[in-house]
Amino acid sequence: MAKAKAEKEGGWALAGRLAAIPGGYILASLAVACLARLLPIARVEAVTTAMLAFFALYAVLLMWAFAARSVLRLWLWMGAASLILGVVLTVSILLGGRA
C-alpha cells in the first residue's frame, strides 16, 4: 500500500523532500542563532555550543524530512517553526539581547 501511494505522488514528493535540504538548513540556522543569542553563558561558549548543536539538528531535520508522511505537512511544519524562530530572533535583536 505504501508503494502504491509513493507511485501515486510521483516525482513531486521526492522534489518536495529534496527541497527540504535548504529549508532544513534555514530552520537549523535560525534555531542556532536564537540559541547563541539566548544562552546565559559567555559569548564564545554560547556560539560554540550553538554551532555544535547545528550539526545534530540539521541531521535530524533531514532524516525527518524523508520520513514524514506528507510533504505538505512537512513544509507547513518547517514554515511555522521558521516563522516562530524568526520572530524570536528579531525580538531578541530589537530588545538588545546579547551585546
Confidence category of residue 83, pLDDT binned at 50, 70, 90 = very high
- Give, for 81, the enclosing helix (H) or strand (E): helix 71-94
Q: How far is C-alpha 66 from the chain's CA centre?
A: 14
The rounded mean pLDDT for the chain is 86
CA distance 80 to 47: 25
The residues near 3 (Cβ < 8 Å, ≥ 6 apart) are none
CB atoms within 10 A of CB 27: 21
pLDDT score for 99:
52
pLDDT score for 21:
87
Q: Is residue 6 over pLDDT 60? A: no
Confidence category of residue 7, pLDDT binned at 50, 70, 90 = low
